[in-house]
Amino acid sequence: MQHMGIFEKYGVRVLGTSVRTLELSEDRELFANALKDINIPVAESIAVTTLDDALAAADQIGYPIIVRAAFALGGLGSGFANNPEELQNLASKSLTLSPQILVEKSLKGWKEAEYEVVRDASDNCITVCNMENFDPLGVHTGDSIVVSPSQTFSDEEYHMLRSAAIKIVRHLGVVGECNVQYALQPDGLDYRVIEVNARLSRSSALASKATGYPLAYTAAKIGLGHTLPELPNAVTKTTTANFEPSLDYIVTKMPRWDLAKFQNVKRDIGSSMKSVGEVMAIGRTFEESFQKAARMVDPKWNGFQGDQFDDLDDTLKNPTDRRWLAVGQAMFHEGYSVDKLHDLTKIDKWFLYKLKNIVDCTKEMQEIGSLFGLKKELITSAKKMGFSDKQIAAAVNSTEDEVRARRLSFGIRPWVKKIDTLAAEFPADTNYLYTTYNASTHDVTFDDHGVLVLGSGVYRIGSSVEFDWCAVNATLSLNKLGKKTVMINYNPETYSTDFDVADRLYFEELSYERVMDIYDLESASGVVVSVGGQLPQNIALKLQETGKAKVLGTDPHDIDKAEDRHKFSSILDDIGVDQPAWKELTSLKEAEEFADSVGYPVLVRPSYVLSGAAMTVIKSQAELAEKLTAAANVSPDHPVVISQYIEGAKEIDVDAVGSNGQLLIHAVSEHVENAGVHSGDATLILPPVDLDQTTMDRIKDIAERVAKAWKITGPFNMQIIKAENPNGGEPALKVIECNLRASRSFPFSSKVLGTNFIDVATKALVGKEVPEPVDPMAVKRDYLAIKVPQFSWTRLAGADPYLGVEMSSTGEMACFGRDKIEAYWAAMQSTMNFRMPEPGEGLLFGGEFTDELSEIVRQLAPLKYKLFAANETTKAALESAVEGASVEVIDFPVEDKKALREVFAKNDIRGVFNLAHSRAKSLVDEDYVMRRNAVDFGVPLFLEPKTAVLFATCMNQKLPRQEGSIPSEVRRWSEFIGGKPL
C-alpha cells in the first residue's frame, strides 16, 4: 500500500515501526546488507527473482542450500535442496508464492534460538524472552518443540546473542516489538542471524504467555508514543514494562499436526511450517513441562512414550511430525543410548539425558509392578517428573482412580504457583497460575468458589478459534452475572489464556486429573463443559460420577445419550424424528447384507477410531471388502458403524440454545455443497435462501423435540439433511448428528444474527436472567452472510486437495452481502493468496463430466477466457453440452512437474476446475496431478460442484466482458496478494 501511494493519498500515518524498517527486515537482500553494516554475521545468501538466477546462486554458494521466500509467513515456500533438480522443483513453487527468494547456505544441525525484543522511540530496549528449539536447525520454529528460557546455552552464549539482538533492533530502527532468530554452532561461539521479524510473530504469543509480559499490549502503547519506563507491567501491577522478565519455571511448547488426515501427504517437517496449533506447558523441571505438553497435544498420549515405526533410524535422522515419539521408542523399547540418539538426531544431549530420567523412573515402577509396592517417595518423584496418575497406573497395571486415591492418601497434591515475571523477587498481584509438584507452598488462597470454564485446548483441524470465542464469551457472561470465574486452558494462541479474561487463569491440562485437582483446590461452585468443544465433553461424565463435580447445564448422562449411537437413535425414533438407516456390524458378511438392503453408497466409520476420523464413503461391494479387511479388521472387538449415504441431499446446520428442555433461540444455516462434505469444510449461508417456510418450520419443530427429549440446558448443534422423498410429498428431513455443546458455527450465527448465542446459553447454564424464547429466523433481513473455509494445501506437500466426510480446513472467513452472489464474491476474495483469473487468461477443466461442469462453462464462455482440458473426453463433452464453447486439449505430463509447470505458464492457466467424484487411487492419476499442481503453482482451485458453479456465476455477474478491463488498482492489488510482483 505504501508503494501504491495509498497511505500518502489518504494521509495515513504509520505508528511504531516504520514501513522502511519492515522492508529492511522482509526484503532478504536489504536485510543481509543492513546486518553486515554492523558486523552481525548472517548465513551466506543471494536474493533472486528467477529460477535461472536461483540455480546460479546455488552453484556460487555450494550445496546443500536452503530457499527462503520473502514477504511470507510460516516459512511458506521455503525448503532445503541438495542438488539442482531439488532446487528447481522447490524454487519453481516458491516463486509462485513470493516475488523474491533467498538462496542461502544450509546450517542444518546447528542449534536454533529466538529472542523477543522490545524498543521504544526513546531507545529504551529490553529482551523479554529467549527461546531454544529442542530440534536443531532445519525444522521451522513453528514445527519445533521449543523451551523457554534456553536450557543448554552457557552464560557467555546467552549474553552474546542478547547483545546482538539489541544491537540489531537499534540499528534497524524498530519501534515496538521484534523477533530475532539465530543459528548457534553446537560446539563453539559462532552464530548466524537467520531472520528478523520487525512485527509481532507466532512466537510473540508464546513469549507473552511464557513470561507473562504482554508484548502486543506494550507494542501498541509504544506505537502511541509511550516509553517503557512509564508503562506499568500489566500483569504484576507493581513494576514497569522496562523490567526484563525473570522466570523460576520452564515452559515447553509442542506443535500439533494433523497430517494423518491427508492422503499422500509427506509427513516430513522442515523449513516450511505444517502444524495447525501448539500447546504450552509450564513446570519447574524440563521433565514435568515436557510430559504435560505431550498430553496436551493429544490426550491419547500418557506423556513421554514411544510408538511403532517402520524405519526407526530414518525417522530419527529425518524429522517428521512423530519424531519425539521415535525418540521415546528408541529409549523405552530399543535400548538406544543418549550418544547414539544424539548422533542420529543432533538433539542436544542435555535434553536427551532429561528424557532418559523419565524412562528410568518408568522402568523403576514397572519393576515394582504393583501399586501398593510404590512408596510415597517414588510416587512423589514421579509426580515431580510430570507423570500423570494414568501414566503411573499403566506402569504398575493399576487404574487412574486407584493411583489417585493412593496419591491423596499420602497427601501428595499439586501446588499452585503464580507467573509473575519476577521469579518471586518482588511482590506481584497476578491471577496467572499453574500447578506443579516441585514446590512446598501455594502462592494464592482459595476463597472465591468460582465457576470453572474448560477451554478448547490445542488448535487442531475441527477445533480452533471458534471454540475459544465460545469459552471467552461464556466467561465474560458469567462475570456480568456476578460469578467469579476460573479458566483452564493451555493454548498460548488463545484469548481465553489472556490473564485479564477470567478472575483466575490456570495454564493447565484439560484432563480429568488436573480439572479435579483445581476443582477441589478452588472448592468450585460448578464447571462448564459445553463451550470448549469435544475435549471437555469427553470428561464430563467422569467429572460428575467419579469426581462428584457439579456440571452446569445438560446432564452428562444426557450428553452420553447423544454421543452413544444406539441411545441417540432410539431416542430419535421415540420422538418421531427421522434419521438415515444405520447399523453397527461385526463381520464383512453383515456389512455387505446391510449395504445391499439400503443400497450403495454407504458411509463406513470404524467405531474404535475417535473424532469421526477414518470415515469413508463406499460405492461398491468390492470397495467395502477392501476397506473393511485392510483398514478396520472387522470383528466383535472392532465393530464398524455403517450408515445409509444419501447422494445429492442438502445439508443444514442448526445452532441452538435450550433451557430445561425448552428451545430459547436457534439459527438455521444451509450448506452450498451437497451433504457428504464435512460441515467444517462447507460453505454456509445464513439466513438460508433455498429453504421454504414449511421446511424452516419443520426444522424448528425438530429442534424443539430434541431439546425436550434430551432435557437440554445450554448450547447444542444439529446437522440435518434434506432429501427428496422417493414416495413423493414433503422432502425428508433426517438428523445425522447432534452435539450437546457449542459448535464451530456459534460465532458465525451470533455475529450474523446480532444475538450472542453463548450469552443466552450461559444465562441458561446458571439459571439467571434467562431470556424468553425468540425466533431470529422469523425476522426478515435485507442481508445475508456466507462463511467459506480456508485450506492449507500449499503447506501440505503431496496432500490430495479433495473434500470428503473428514474435515480438512484450518480456518474460515465470512462476508456479508445483499444476496449470495455479493457475499460469496467478497468471501472468496478474502481467502489467502487468492488471485482472480482475468478474462483472456486460461482455465483448465477436469474430473468427471457433470451438469455442473457444463454450467460452469456456460457461465464463463461470455467472458472470453481460454478454455483447456487435459483429455479429449472432457473436451468433447463440454463442447457438445455448451453451444459455441471452444475447448483446447493441452499436453498434460503427470510425472514431470517441471514440464507441467511449463505447460501451465505457456497456456497462462490461472484457474482450475476439477470436479472428481472420488479421491485419486495413485500419484499419477490425472485428476490428482491437476488438483495438486494447481495448489503448488499458486492457481485458484475449485473442486466441489456446487461452490464451483456459484463462483462461476459470480464471475459472470461481476467481471467485465473483455480482456484487460479490470481496473488497474484492483488488478495490482489482486496480483500482490496472489504473490506476484507489483
Model confidence pLDDT, tens digit, residues 676-693: 888 889 999 999 999 999
What mean pLDDT do residues 411-438 have? 88
**Residue 668 CA: distances (Å) to CA of 182, 719, 721, 773, 832:** 51, 10, 12, 16, 28
**Torsions phi, psi of 967, nearest 5?**
-50, 140
The CATH 1.10.1030.10 portion of the chain extends over: 297-412
Measure CA 587 to chain center: 36
CATH number listed for the domain at residues 297-412: 1.10.1030.10
What mean pLDDT, rounded, does the chain reach?
Answer: 90
Burial of 817 (0-12, 13-18, 19+ CB in 10 A): middle
Residues 484-510 have pLDDT tens digits of 999 999 999 999 999 889 999 999 999
* Separation of alpha carbons 194 and 172, rounded Å: 15
DSSP 915: E
Tell me the CA distances in angstroms from 406 to 423, 814, 870, one per residue in order. 33, 52, 68
* CA atoms in the 13 A half-sphere facing the CB of 700: 18
Long-range contacts made by residues 974-979, C-beta under 8 angstroms, separation at least 24?
974/835, 974/836, 975/835, 977/833, 977/834, 977/835, 978/833, 978/834, 978/835, 978/938, 979/96, 979/97, 979/98, 979/99, 979/833, 979/835, 979/938
Question: Residues spanned by CATH 3.40.50.20 within the chain?
Answer: 416-533
Report how far residue 774's alpha carbon sits from residue 758's, in angstroms, rounded to the nearest whole number: 15
Domain with CATH 3.30.1490.20 in the chain: 44-106, 581-644
- Residue with more model confidence, 288 or 83: 288
pLDDT of residue 968 exceeding 90, the answer is: no
State mean pLDDT over 807-826: 93
Measured CA to CA, the distance from residue 745 to residue 695 in angstroms comes to 21
**Quick check: bond before 149 cis, omega within 30?**
yes
Residues of the chain with CATH 3.30.470.20: 111-247
**811 touches 793 (CB < 8 A):** no
Q: Name beta bridge partners: 44.
A: none
Could you tell me whether strands 866-869 and 887-889 are parallel, antiparallel, or unpaired per DSSP bridges?
Answer: parallel
Q: Which CATH class is domain 581-644?
A: alpha beta
Percent of the chain with pLDDT strictly greater than 90: 63
Residue 65 pLDDT: 87
Handedness of CA 658, 662, 666, 670 (dihedral sign): positive
Given pLDDT bands bounded at 50, 70 and 90, which one contains residue 964?
A: low
Indicate the DSSP class of residue 389.
H
- Distance of alpha carbon 155 from the chain centroid: 36
Q: Which neighbouring-strand residues pair with 176?
A: 119
DSSP H stretches of helix in 72-120: 84-97
pLDDT at site 609: 40
Using DSSP's 3-state secondary structure scheme, residue 934 falls into helix
**Do 145 and 134 touch, CB atoms closer than 8 A?**
yes
CA angle 67, 837, 6 (to 5 degrees): 75
Which pLDDT score, from 0 to 100, does residue 462 have? 84
CATH match for 111-247 among 3.30.428.10, 3.30.470.20, 1.20.1280.290, 3.40.640.10: 3.30.470.20
pLDDT in tens, 256-275: 998 888 888 888 888 778 89
Asked if residue 724 has pLDDT above 80, the reply is yes
Return the minimum-mean-pLDDT range out of 227-236, 348-357, 711-720.
Answer: 227-236
For range 817-821, the mean pLDDT: 94
pLDDT band at 591 (very low <50, low <70, confident <90, very high): confident
Instruction: Specify the length of the chain in residues.
Output: 982
Q: Indicate if the pLDDT at residue 479 is higher than 60.
A: yes
β-strands 45-48, 811-817 pairing: unpaired
The backbone torsions φ and ψ at residue 821, rounded to the nearest 5 degrees and listed phi first, read -65, -50
Per residue in 188-205, pLDDT tens? 889 999 888 888 887 888
Residue 954 burial by Cβ neighbours in a 10 Å radius (0-12, 13-18, 19+): buried
Q: 637 falls in which pLDDT band (50, 70, 90)?
A: low
The pLDDT of residue 614: 60
Give ∠ CA 299-300-305 in degrees, rounded to 5. Answer: 110
Task: Name the class of domain 835-958.
Answer: alpha beta
**H/E segment holding residue 9:** helix 6-9
Closest CA to 478 of 457, 511, 458, 449: 449
Structurally, what CATH architecture does the domain formed by 44-106 represent? 2-Layer Sandwich (3.30)
DSSP one-letter string for 719-764: EEEEE--TTSSSPEEEEEEEESS--TTHHHHHHHHTS-HHHHHHHH
Domain 416-533 - what CATH class? alpha beta
Q: Which residues pair with 739 in a beta bridge?
A: 717
Which residues of 873-963 form beta strands (DSSP E)?
887-889, 909-915, 941-942
- Per-residue pLDDT of 856-914, as tens digits, reads 999 998 898 999 999 999 999 999 989 888 999 999 998 888 889 889 999 999 999 99
Q: Which residue has the higher pLDDT, 920 or 665?
A: 665
Ordered alpha helix ranges (H), 808-850: 820-829
What average pLDDT does the segment 222-242 reach? 87
The yes-or-no verdict on residue 923 having pLDDT over 50 is yes
Q: What's the rounded Cα separation, in Å, for the pair 243 and 247? A: 12
pLDDT tier for residue 805 given thresholds of 50, 70 and 90: confident
Given this model, what pLDDT does residue 154 score?
Answer: 94
Cβ-based burial of 404 (10 A; exposed 0-12, middle 13-18, buried ≥19): buried
Q: What is the pLDDT of residues 602-620, one digit of tens each?
A: 988 765 443 345 678 888 8
Based on the number of CB atoms within 10 Å of its own CB, is 134 exposed (0-12), middle (13-18) or buried (19 or more)? buried
Run of H or E residues at 426: none
Residue 785 is predicted with a pLDDT of 97
What is the arithmetic mean of pLDDT over 43-54?
A: 85
Interacting residues of 632 by C-beta distance below 8 A, sequence separation 6+: 604, 606, 638, 640
